[in-house]
Amino acid sequence: MASKYAGDTGIAQHPAVIFADNFESGALPGPWDEARNQKTGLNLAKVPGGPVGKRSLRVEAHLGKDPGGGVTKWFQPTATLFLRFYTHFDEKCDSLHHFVTSRANKSL
């Protein structure tokens, strides 16, 4: 499906897509259900030369200071869920703890 949407333009309108955020407008948490550590670990940043659009979600963690930021979106149960996202790590990044979590139940 994604190959039909250059730069993801219009993909959010496809009937099979249940959630999409290109971070191009609005503020956090926006369409996300939860946002953690917005003051120190999350911001919307202009990223020149990124793969799609002009803004990205920047997530930071400061070792020894905080667990970092993050966003969460809860979905209704479904038999199959596909996730697609782009990522870039700072060249100085040497520690990945929690990166992406996908859970099937909000109570977990």
- pLDDT of 97: 61
Q: What is the pLDDT of residues 14-66, one digit of tens each?
A: 999 999 988 888 888 889 998 888 887 888 888 777 667 788 888 888 878 88
What residue spans define the domains of the chain? 21-72
- pLDDT of 98: 61
Residue with the two structure tokens 């930021």: 69
Per-residue buried b or exposed e for 70-84, using 16+ beta carbons within 10 Å of the residue's own CB: bbeeeeeeeeeeeee
Answer positive or negative: Cα dihedral of 88, 24, 52, 7.
positive
Q: What is the pLDDT of residues 61-72, one digit of tens each?
A: 887 888 788 888
This prediction has a pTM of 0.76
Check whether 87 has a pLDDT greater than 70: yes
